[in-house]
Structure 1
Amino acid sequence: MTRITDLRVFDLRFPTSQSLDGSDAMNPDPDYSAAYVILDTDAPDLAGHGLTFTIGRGNDICCMAIEAMRHLVVGADLAEVLAHPGKFWRHLTSDSQLRWIGPEKGAIHLATGAVVNAVWDLLAKQAGKPVWRLVAEMSPEEIADIVDYRYLTDVLTRDEAIEILKRAEAGKTERIATLEKEGYACYTTSAGWLGYGDEKLRRLCQEAIDAGFDHIKMKVGRDLEDDIRRLRIAREVIGPDRYLMIDANQVWDVGQAIDWVKALSFAKPFFIEEPTSPDDVAGHRKIRQAIAPVKVATGEMCQNRIMFKQFIAEGAIDIVQIDSCRMGGLNEVLAVLLIAAKFGRPVWPHAGGVGLCEYVQHLSMIDYIAVSGTKDGRVIEYVDHLHEHFLDPCRIENAAYMPPSLPGFSIEMKPASISNYTFRG
């Protein structure tokens, strides 16, 4: 019997604002940060690592929220957690006082994502498998029991989840072999940050093509004429046949979004990401109806499975962009993967940040092997920075994520990075 004995939290911040990496219309000067948690156990050399991503100020608030969950985690028996993962998730999100500052949203839910994913890191390390393989090799019933179905049963029941998962059972072994051979395709945002000059944009677009990328994303939304110029450059470099996506990071009202996207339609964008408020289901639906065939994508700021339920079931989005730790970790992400599979919506995870690429590769691989059963029309975001701080960084070959082989969630940072980037005020 292995129990969690301690919870340690670290406020980690990286000075990305100095180079404008990550800059967009809503967030012009982010300092990529992580509220980082380590769960110690009574087993020798077994600890779980997790994080939630922020962009600087407020990271300390997430750290305090993680610390506030100590009593819910310390003492937990890993065997019990693995036997009843959905029940454990309900336990973490149902503290009668903590849920008042949520429920299941905001800083306390960001903290939940960090803690839940640290537990999965523990479970996978204990099993000697990467998270994607641990989950994908479970039975349909075992995978279904990871999800908490509260507030979902009008759209997804446990029985429906099992039916979806059973359909994906056929061909699992072959899909794992395909994944290990080909990886999972990704797109790059590294060329498109809003703070980059034209020459840097041109150079990075060419480098992306040379690296094999067929999908490139550009940030837009600060100035229309600037966007037109930048998209002309990008389309000129990447040619007419590659996918160009655009991302407004929530800066527009609904009508403004419709007009702006139409003005940029000359560049043939595949989708517009986050065109308006991340909570506005009706607004996204209006935009989607008005700008077709340009698709609508959102999700990186979508705070829980209930919001995704509405976006998907109400026909408000074409592409589901789950975030690995804005929601309550793997358990809640799996609920959204199942809803997306039921409604035939492709999942393109949000990545970049600190550790998000390391996280989401596991989630898309679970989706491919055990849930949707396909990679067709699905690509994972990739941003090429800060990976050097991880013990098991994501590995990209021919513009594809190659499946991790080391046990865990690929999220454990190097001790030197934890020490060097701990925020000291």
Structure 2
Amino acid sequence: MAARLRLPDAITLATAGLRARRIRSALSALGIAIAVAAVVAVLGIAQSAKADLLTQLGEQGNLLTVASAESVNGRGIPLPATAEPMIARIPPVRTVTAVATVENVTVRRSRAIPAVQTGGMNVLATRPSLPATLSAPPLLGHFLDATAEHYPMTVLGFEAAKILGIGSLETPTQVLLGDHYFTVAGVLAPVTVAPEIDLAALISFGQAEQVFGRTAEPTRIYLRADPDQVAVVAAVLTATTMPDGRNDVQIRRPSDLLVARIAAKGAFVGLFLGLGGIALLIAGVGIANIMVISVLERRGEIGLRRALGARRRHVALQFLLESTLLAVLGGVLGVGLGLLATAVAARLGGNPLAVPVAAPAAGLGAALLVGALAGLYPAARAARLSPVEALRSR
């Protein structure tokens, strides 16, 4: 009667072999787990960051900026004073606001800080409509109101507040703009699509003229249009801003920066997945090495099984299952670790948790494939052992 080995029996034999060498099996599975966790975490973290960028893209896709084409380092020739109200009259335009660079004015915490240490910060005159137009609510305090037109008050951008070391407004706080102290009324939330706001101290146009002699002409205008009319509005902005056509202007869509960041993240994902694949390959080689050693150590067991009627394919199946089960156990652990790492990274980064369904499946599939391939040679070597020679080696 031909010997038969049912799959449940084969799995029982394979698990018994793994349990007999617990530490060795655990270390081998850990190698697979680390590699799979890296793959899952890379996909999950990238997807979470991409989800956040896509959310911002949806929110900022209808934002346009207008600036003088002759600007240098953000300090351009002022736009006409009529540009802002004229743009506001374009029917699809929802909101509009303007800022003006106040040149040669430093931002410092006090006079003890050298004037040359600007930290990249500058002073911008702005309208009260800026937070609504840029979707940038104050994190602390409040934005500039009608009072700020007559009194020295400023609102700091998010990065400017960090540079100046201002994290609370529980007590009255002042900063030095040029040679004049201004009371800090608030701190804005980060503005991803307008980094120049993050590094600025914002004051009213009234104070810019009264204290620094800055006229009311803006240097940059921000506007939001109906989402399905953005291209139409962009096409008429140049003529609306400069009706006489004497100077050209730059029309930009800041959300293009978000699209570029999404593309850049996709490129880095490919790189890290390649590194994860290399780690998985190394872990597979480690399993293959462990299984070859296991075959050498268990030649007596193999010979006894062959002498009792086990076929070559039965022996091969046992060792192939051991290798595969070892990799699958590591894969399951790795998927769990990868999901945990993704959740922690998303929470720390303030991103929504988004894990592609393919990530856990890809991790387990890769572990299964690596385990099967790693077990092929040891299984074939075990199957080729002669029962007589195997029993002699006991």
Bin of the TM-score, shorter chain as denominator length? under 0.3
Higher relative contact order, chain-length normalized (CA < 8 Å, sep 6+): 2
- Find the structure with the greater CA-based Rg: 2
Higher helix share: 2
* TM-score, with length taken from structure 2: 0.21
